[in-house]
Amino acid sequence: QVQLAESGGGLVQAGGSLRLSCAASGRTFSNYYMGWFRQAPGKEREFVGGIRWSGTSPYYADSVKGRFTISRDNAKNTMYLQMNSLKPEDTAVYYCAAGLKFRPIQVKEYDYWGQGTQVTVSS
């Protein structure tokens, strides 16, 4: 029903910034939520933040509040994750996802996933 593709990962120094993109294609619906997750080596995939398909009401995990911002370009059907003040502990593979649950924060609450993009923060 929907396909997702992340891009924009790379290597940055601590304190730097990076913007990730998630492009959606296929048949989509206006009541979907979209979200960002990340997974570090040896750890479970964890929630980063989410937003309505319309681009309103973003919400975030406590670990990234004040540093990361989620937005959506409706014309381009693309979601963004702006990451500022990056820390080494932000190093992970970042995934975008979509689902129909209300303000979902768990992996099992999302139905569609991208392949991920690597973000590495050096100290």
Do residues 37 and 94 touch, judged by C-beta distance below 8 A?
Answer: yes
Please compute the mean of the pLDDT values over residues 106-114 and round it to a whole number.
96
Residue 98 has pLDDT above 80, yes or no: yes
How does the average pLDDT of the chain come out, rounded?
95
Please compute the mean of the pLDDT values over residues 77-90 and round it to a whole number.
96
pLDDT at 75: 86
Please compute the mean of the pLDDT values over residues 88-116 and round it to a whole number.
96
Give the residue among 113, 83, 121, 122 at the shortest CA–CA distance from 6.
Answer: 113
- Per mean pLDDT, which range of 1-5, 107-111, 114-118 is the poorest? 1-5
Q: What percent of the chain has pLDDT over 70?
A: 99
The DSSP code for 103 is: S
pLDDT at 74: 84
12: buried, middle or exposed (CB in 10 Å: 19+, 13-18, 0-12)? middle
pLDDT at 8: 98
Phi, psi of 108, deg, nearest 5: -70, -10
Per mean pLDDT, which of 5-19, 21-35, 49-63, 69-83 is the most reliable? 5-19
